[in-house]
Structure formats: C-alpha cells, structure tokens
C-alpha cells in the first residue's frame, strides 16, 4: 500500500532555525503518490454537491486544480494581496509578526455555491480561516477543508472545526 507521508520530505531549519518544513514537492514528483493524494482528497467528498474548489496560494493551486478537475468543477485561486488582476475582495489574518491578506476575484464565488477549500498543509489555521471568511463574504458555503498534511500541535484543525467545518487531512506530523 502506498504511504503518502513517506513521500513528503522534511527539511530542518527552513525557513528559520527550529522549523521542520514539510515539503510536498517530493509527493508531487511521484506519479502514484500524487494520484493517490488527489484521489483521497476527492473520494472523501463523494455524494456532496461541490460547485467550486478553492485553493490557497501556492501549493493549494496544484492540489486544488487537480481536485477541481476530478470533480468537474471550477477552480478559485485565493491569493496574497495584489496578485489578482480583476476587482477583488479580501480578508486580513494575523501572522506571528504582523498582518497579511488573502484575496479572490469578486465574481469567483456566487451566493449559495458550495465550495471545498484545499491546501497542502494546515498549521495554525490562520490562512484557512481567512479564506473561509472570504468565501462566506461572497455568499459561498464552505462544505469542507482538505489538506494533505496536518501539524496537530499547532491547532489549526481544531480552529477550523470550531467554525463548524469538516476537516480532512491525509497525514500528520507531530511538532512544529
């Protein structure tokens, strides 16, 4: 049986000392591993009406685009401030040292549309929570959040579940 976790590379002290960076590029390079990850992200939502898949910049674009393709839905890029060419709506979120912002096009999600949010990893959940608020601001309904990796010690999964949203993760790494 193919193990997704074993196909994820850990890079110590990146981008800062003490951080164990979980690099999914090794998973993406492995055709069987990538396919399995996408299949598992899709199969968990069988029978759920999903109108759009939203992916958080940048690795969420890769995974979310593949999931949207498999589900035959549209894809919504959620990007950092100033990166989208058309009119946008945005949501701020707190970082360890400051504030950042995510945006999407004003016409990306319509009222009542069911949206699946996808990214590579959930850590503290701040970016995902901002993306959820953004989708809701547009009138969309977030039907779930799917991530390849969970860092449970950082509490992001609990933060998103506290919003009443189901969270799917394919593997977990203890520690930060």
Q: Active-site residue among 7, 9, 32, 59?
A: 59
Q: Is residue 152 part of a domain?
A: yes
Write out pLDDT tens, residues 82-118.
999 999 999 999 876 789 999 999 999 999 999 999 9
- CATH code, domain with 144: 3.40.50.2020
Q: 12 is written with which tokens?
A: 């110590």
Mean of the per-residue pLDDT values for the chain? 96
**C-beta neighbour count of 155 within 10 angstroms:** 14
Q: Active-site residue among 35, 57, 94, 96?
A: 96
Q: Is residue 8 part of a domain?
A: no
Q: Is residue 129 part of a domain?
A: yes
- CA atoms within 13 A of residue 93's CA, in its CB half-sphere: 20
Write out pLDDT tens, residues 48-65.
999 999 999 999 999 999
Q: 161 is written with which tokens?
A: 């579940």
Q: Is residue 74 part of a domain?
A: yes
Helix (H) or strand (E) holding 37: helix 31-43
Three-state DSSP state, 141: strand
Q: Is 40 a catalytic residue?
A: no
CB-based contacts of 130, cutoff 8 Å, min separation 6: 91, 92, 93, 101, 102
More confident residue, 143 or 97: 143
pLDDT band, residue 176 (cuts 50/70/90): low
Q: Is residue 48 part of a domain?
A: yes
Three-state DSSP state, 51: coil
Domain count, the chain: 1
Q: Is residue 2 part of a domain?
A: no
Q: Is residue 17 part of a domain?
A: no
Domain assignment of residue 70, given as a range: 33-172
Q: Is residue 82 part of a domain?
A: yes
């Amino acid at each position: 049986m193919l193990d997704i976790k074993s196909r994820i590379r850990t890079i110590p002290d990146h981008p800062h000392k003490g951080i164990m960076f979980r690099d999914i590029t090794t998973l993406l390079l492995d055709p069987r591993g990538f396919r399995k990850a996408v299949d598992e992200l899709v199969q968990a939502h069988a029978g759920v009406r999903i109108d759009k898949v939203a992916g958080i910049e940048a690795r969420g674009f890769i995974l979310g685009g593949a999931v949207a393709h498999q589900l035959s839905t549209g894809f919504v890029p959620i990007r950092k401030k100033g990166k989208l060419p058309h009119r946008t709506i945005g949501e701020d979120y707190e970082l360890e040292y400051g504030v950042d912002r995510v945006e999407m096009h004003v016409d990306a999600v319509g009222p009542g549309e069911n949206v699946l949010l996808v990214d590579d990893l959930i850590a503290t959940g701040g970016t995902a929570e901002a993306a959820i608020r953004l989708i809701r601001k547009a009138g969309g309904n977030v039907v779930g959040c799917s991530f390849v990796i969970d860092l449970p010690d950082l509490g992001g999964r609990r933060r998103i579940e506290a919003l009443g949203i189901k969270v799917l993760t394919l593997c977990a790494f203890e520690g930060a």
